[in-house]
Amino acid sequence: MTVPVIEAVGVRKRFGDHDVLRGIDLAVAPHEVVVLIGASGSGKSTLLRTMNLIERVDDGQIFLSGTDITDPRADADAIRARIGVVFQHFNLFPHLTVLDNVTLAARWVHRTAKAEAAARGRELLTALGLGDKAGAYPDRLSGGQQQRVAIVRAILTEPELLLLDEITSALDPQLVGEVLDLVRELKNRGTTILMATHEMSFAREVADRVVFLKDGVLVEQGPPEQLFEAPQHPATIEFLSRVH
């Protein structure tokens, strides 16, 4: 069996007396696109944040390509360098050009030489339709373009895993499509992706597997056609009837 790129085993997280993750088991295989759905507060972001070591798990383990990243002795910076992350709110540096934003992590975290990082950055920006923006500052870009730049930045160093958390929910509706097009392109390139989204039609189209969380429990998962057309669990049926 292939080793999952990321695997959560019995992951629990509690804030105060609130059990936010209540024993999550979830594995993502190489090149797989897995989409997390569930009501606001169901624990999607917290789960993604435990994988990037922003939150420490209270119990359970998380393995990144077989390495136990929840081991307290694990090197958090080295682990984070293997994972690309994009959140809802783009956090590009306003005083840096698009190219400098995109290459910053490569240069500082991965110690890639400036010229090499710049060449790779230009190449990737061009390949993903942002070539003419390399010298621009973020405030000259639309929200959709900024979010696409944030994605390019996250994949420049070819991370093993890409975590995307509601990357379109802060965007005007007319800008959502261009960001989702880019995710579709990354899927075609074989990127391993775990993403949380409210975009059910996109989940249906792009996911290899859809995972439904409710109150910190993984209630049901399956291929999109199964989960959306023939959900088995009453909680899934109830959730989908509300969001469709």
- Binding-site ranges for ligand ADP (CB under 6 A): 15, 20, 38, 40-46
Token duo for residue 47: 């789960």
Picked from ligand ADP, Mg ion, none, the partner binding residue 93 (CB below 5 to 8 A depending on kind) is none
Picked from Mg ion, ligand ADP, none, the partner binding residue 20 (CB below 5 to 8 A depending on kind) is ligand ADP
Closest distance between ligand ADP and the C-beta of residue 18, in Å? Answer: 6
Nearer Cβ to ligand ADP, position 149 or 211? 211
Picked from Mg ion, ligand ADP, none, the partner binding residue 121 (CB below 5 to 8 A depending on kind) is none
Nearer Cβ to Mg ion, position 12 or 107? 12
Closest distance between ligand ADP and the C-beta of residue 81, in Å? Answer: 24
The helix/strand/coil state of 32 is coil
What is the pattern of x (binds Mg ion, CB under 5 A) and - over residues 26-55? ------------------xx----------
In degrees, rounded to 5, the angle at the alpha carbon of residue 234 between the alpha carbons of residues 229 and 239 is 70
Helices (H), 41-192: 44-51, 76-80, 98-108, 114-127, 143-155, 173-188
What's the rounded Cα separation, in Å, for the pair 207 and 226? 12
Closest distance between Mg ion and the C-beta of residue 38, in Å? Answer: 9
What's the rounded Cα separation, in Å, for the pair 188 and 83? 19
Position 227, amino acid: L
Closest distance between Mg ion and the C-beta of residue 88, in Å? Answer: 7
Closest C-alpha to 105, from 125, 85, 87: 85
